[in-house]
């Protein structure tokens, strides 16, 4: 399968190993698009792409650029969209409902979403949605086997509107526990910091899926305290409370389980070990890349003739 894979040149998260994982499992033409190129996909395709050469065209681009170009994007054949932010479709933020509105204009396109329940909800709306979770860079992040001198911590961003629930929970926890909330540089600094933390507090409040931080912390041997995203999401990922992860729904529950683990170092070590093994076996970007390629390979829906969607929307009164 020959794949044209278009990604963002400027991206906060470093996902090179994910791209490598996809390229390992198909004939991949990976291209890094600048902000200007993403903003004018019609021109980029006209000047740079022969669509007939590819079995699949995979987008992993800025959603806010995509939604302004739906009339062109719906003309791209064999299109698959990889999306790590579609959870925003279902939470109060500036993109509430906008993913659904975008996909409604091209309902034949396959969407690979990183949330199990997000994928389920998209399918219920009639879209060709497939679940492949987020993961972690297995080449960079691992357990160094060092002593852990930070008991309780979170590493990452709390600034955006989408993270308002995260910030509120961490602020509340910080009032009653000695919690470190910090940021690091990517790479070795991040690896070394995760390897100093005994209990990593993930606070993906209201997001409906697990962010990359969860898999990174598990891979580095932290005991992961993860805000519980629900039974279906946990089952899809293999997360089992007090076995390979510690799940909580509020601060009192988190603190109660924290006290249990403070008193039972052996249990804490077993949870860390089981979490680390789960991450290694299931969530490395090499494995995630293989799953993405597998999800692309199944036959796509037939693209409807021009004007079909407009007629449908007219009948629906939209």
28, pLDDT greater than 50: yes
CA–CA gap between residue 220 and residue 304 (Å, rounded): 47
The beta strand positions in the chain, using DSSP E, are: 2-8, 27-33, 56-60, 79-83, 110-113, 128-131, 150-155, 180-182, 197-202, 223-227, 246-248
Averaged pLDDT of the chain: 93
CA–CA gap between residue 205 and residue 250 (Å, rounded): 10
Q: Give tens-digit pLDDT for 270-297.
A: 999 999 999 999 999 999 999 999 999 9
Q: Give tens-digit pLDDT for 96-113.
A: 999 999 999 999 999 999
Residue 163 is predicted with a pLDDT of: 73
Give residue 38's Cα distance to chain centre.
21
308, pLDDT greater than 60: no
Of the candidates 50, 39, 38, the residue with the CA atom closest to the CA atom of residue 76: 50
Q: Give tens-digit pLDDT for 212-243.
A: 999 999 999 999 999 999 999 999 999 999 99
Q: Give tens-digit pLDDT for 159-216.
A: 665 677 889 999 999 999 999 999 999 899 999 999 999 999 999 988 899 999 999 9
């Amino acid at each position: 399968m020959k794949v044209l894979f278009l990604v963002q040149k400027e991206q906060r998260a470093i996902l090179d190993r994910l791209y490598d994982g996809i390229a390992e499992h198909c004939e991949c033409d990976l291209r890094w698009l600048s902000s200007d190129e993403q903003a004018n996909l019609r021109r980029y395709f006209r000047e740079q792409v022969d669509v007939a050469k590819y079995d699949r065209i995979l987008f992993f681009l800025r959603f806010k650029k995509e939604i302004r170009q739906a009339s062109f994007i719906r003309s791209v054949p064999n299109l698959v969209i990889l999306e790590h932010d579609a959870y925003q479709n279902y939470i109060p933020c500036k993109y509430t409902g906008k993913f659904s509105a975008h996909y409604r204009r091209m309902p034949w396109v396959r969407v690979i979403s990183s949330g199990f329940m997000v994928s389920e909800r998209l399918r219920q709306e009639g879209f060709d949605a497939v679940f492949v979770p987020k993961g972690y860079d297995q080449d960079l992040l691992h357990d160094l086997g060092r002593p852990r001198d930070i008991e309780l911590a979170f590493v990452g961003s709390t600034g955006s509107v989408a993270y308002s629930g995260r910030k509120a929970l961490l602020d509340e926890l910080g009032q009653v526990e000695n919690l470190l909330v910090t940021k690091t540089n990517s790479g070795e600094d991040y690896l070394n910091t995760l390897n100093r933390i005994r209990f990593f507090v993930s606070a993906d409040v209201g997001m409906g899926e697990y962010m990359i931080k969860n898999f990174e912390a598990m891979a580095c041997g932290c005991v992961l305290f993860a805000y519980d995203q629900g039974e279906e999401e946990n089952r899809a990922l293999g997360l089992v409370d007090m076995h390979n992860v510690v799940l909580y729904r509020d601060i009192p529950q988190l603190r109660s389980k924290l006290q249990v683990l403070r008193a039972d170092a052996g249990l804490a070590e077993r949870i860390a070990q089981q979490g680390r093994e789960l991450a290694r076996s299931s969530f490395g970007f090499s494995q995630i890349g293989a799953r993405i390629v597998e999800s692309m390979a199944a036959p796509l829906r037939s693209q409807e003739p021009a004007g079909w969607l407009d007629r449908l929307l007219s009948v629906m009164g939209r």
